Amino acid sequence: MGDMTIRPEDTPVVNGEVTETEVLLRTPQAADDPAETDLRITDSTLRDGSHAMAHQFTEEQVRGVVSALDRAGVQVIEVSHGDGLGGSSFNYGFSKVDEFQLIKAAVEEAQRAKIAVLMLPGLGTLHHLKKA
């Protein structure tokens, strides 16, 4: 696969959109084998991003974010309490809306994207995972 080290001098200064051709010119090894360019984007805004909001996402916000990410072509969207399934608690902070209600809203909103959850052993349980 070659040296994949990114050096500061190799990093373009982006002042707008970068075309696919420009990306390939700057990373020629990416074009060598199409299988190596296969990429899956996972967005964790609705899970990890909830820490910044004290786990207060609403169903309306989840639907809006999922809809936008889905239209943008994001393949996997993570939705749950910031600390994963079962995280809404005295220790980690209570969610504004039940996480299963948010997951349901995300699944209903997504046209193409898959909805994922985080489960940390010792916090989430098999019951949480099956319910999700």
- Contact in structure between 102 and 65 (CB atoms under 8 Å): no
Active site residue 127: no
Catalytic residue among 51, 55, 81, 127: 51
Provide the edge-to-edge strand list for the sheet that holds 42-43. Answer: 42-43, 76-78, 114-116
User: 22: which residues sit within 8 A by CB, 6+ positions away?
Assistant: 12
Active site residues: 51
